[in-house]
Amino acid sequence: MIIIPAIDLKRGKCVRLLQGDFDLPTVYSDHPADIALQWQEKGAKRIHVVDLDGSRDGLPRNRDAVEAIVRVVNVPIEVGGGIRDMKTVDEYLTMGVSYVILGTVALKDRAFVLDACTAHPGHIILALDARDGMVAVEGWTESSDRSPAEIAAQYQGCGLESIIYTDIQRDGMESGVNIESTRLLAESVDIPVIASGGVANIHDIDRLLESGGPGIMGVITGKALYTGALKLEDAIARIAGFA
C-alpha cells in the first residue's frame, strides 16, 4: 500500500474543502508546486492532484498549476477534475502527467472511458465518489442512483490502472476512512482500489493495513497532512514496517 498526498487546486491555490463544499475552502498555499516538491522530499511515491474548478465547470481550469507541479517533481502525478474528452486526456499525458482520473464521464459516457483505456492502457484511473452509498458527479454537486460497485463492474477488464473510492461525507473531516465500504468495493472487482476521504491520523493507516484487504493499493490523504495530524514520513514508515 502507498500513501498518496493530495493537492486540491482552486483558482491556482492549494486548498481543502469540507465534504466537497466549494463555499468552505481552506487555503494552504498560493504555490501548489512547492507543496508537491515538499511531499516528494518527504518520500511520496505518487501525488494526487484535483482541479476543483474543473470538476465543477466540466473543463480544466488549473492547467498551469498542474504543469508547474509536473515540472518540479519526478514522481508519478495523477490528475482529475473536468476531464471530459480525449483531447484533454492526451494533453495531460503529453504534459508528463502519469495517470488521468475520470469521474463524472464514467456515468455519462462509458464509450469514452473505454476508448481512453484502449488508447492509454494503465494510465486511466476511475474516480467513484459516494454520498450515502450512491455515486455523486459534477464536482460532487449532483447525486446519482447508482452504487460504486455497480459502476465499477462495468469497467472490469478494460485496462484501468485503479479506482479511487471517496466517501464524500468524510472528505476533509478527519473523521476516519470508510474502510468497510472501501474493502467491499475492492472485493467486488479485480481492479486495485485507492481509499480516499477521512484520514485522521496514523491510526487510520493502521486500520487500513489490518482490515483493508489485499485489493486496496493505496490511500489518499490531504487535510491530515496539512494540519500536521498525520506526518507523511510516519505513515510511509508504518507501511514499510507492516508485516
DSSP output for the chain: -EEEEEEEEETTEEEEEETTEEEEEEEEES-HHHHHHHHHHTT-S-EEEEEHHHHHHTS-S-HHHHHHHHHH--S-EEEESS--SHHHHHHHHHHT-SEEEE-HHHHH-HHHHHHHHHHSTTSEEEEEEEETTEEEETTTTEE-S--HHHHHHTTTTS--SEEEEEEGGGTTTTS---HHHHHHHHHHSSS-EEEES---SHHHHHHHHHHS-TTEEEEEE-HHHHHTSS-HHHHHHHHHT--
Q: Residue 58 and residue 56: Cα distance in Å, rounded?
A: 6
Predicted confidence (pLDDT) at residue 105 exceeds the cutoff of 90: no
- Residue 230 pLDDT level (bands cut at 50, 70, 90): very high
At 143 the pLDDT is 66
- Is 21 among the catalytic positions? no
Q: Is the pLDDT of residue 141 over 80?
A: no
Can you give the pLDDT at residue 173? 44
The one catalytic residue among 51, 129, 167, 171: 129
Q: How far is it, in rounded angstroms, from Cα 135 to Cα 8?
A: 20
Q: Which of 67-71, 72-76, 125-129 is predicted least confidently? A: 125-129
Above 60 in pLDDT, residue 142? no
pLDDT for 197 equals 82
**pLDDT for res 115:** 97
pTM, rounded to two decimals: 0.91
204 catalytic? Reply is no
Domain ranges of the chain: 2-236
C-alpha cell at 38: 515538499
144 has pLDDT over 80: no
Rounded mean pLDDT, 100-125: 93
Higher pLDDT, 214 or 96: 96
| Confidence at 65, pLDDT banded by 50, 70, 90 | very high
Using a 10 angstrom Cβ sphere, with 0-12 exposed, 13-18 middle and 19 or more buried, the burial of residue 206 is middle
CA dihedral 182, 184, 189, 190 (to 10 degrees): 70
Q: Percent of the chain, pLDDT > 70? A: 90
**How is domain 2-236 classified at the CATH fold level?**
TIM Barrel (3.20.20)
Name the residue with higher pLDDT: 19 or 14.
14
How far, in Å, CA of 84 to CA of 55, rounded? 10
pLDDT the model gives residue 63 = 97
Mean pLDDT of the chain: 89
- Catalytic residue, chosen from 8, 51, 167, 204, is 8
Q: In this predicted model, what pLDDT tens digit does every residue of 156-196 receive, in sequence order?
A: 999 999 999 988 654 444 556 888 889 889 999 999 999 98
Q: What is the pLDDT of residue 136?
A: 74
Q: Which residues of 19-41 are buried (b: 16+ CB within 10 A; e: fewer)?
A: bbeeeebeebeeebbebbbebbe
Per-range mean pLDDT, top range of 52-56, 64-68, 186-190? 64-68
Cα 126 to chain centroid distance, Å, stands at 9
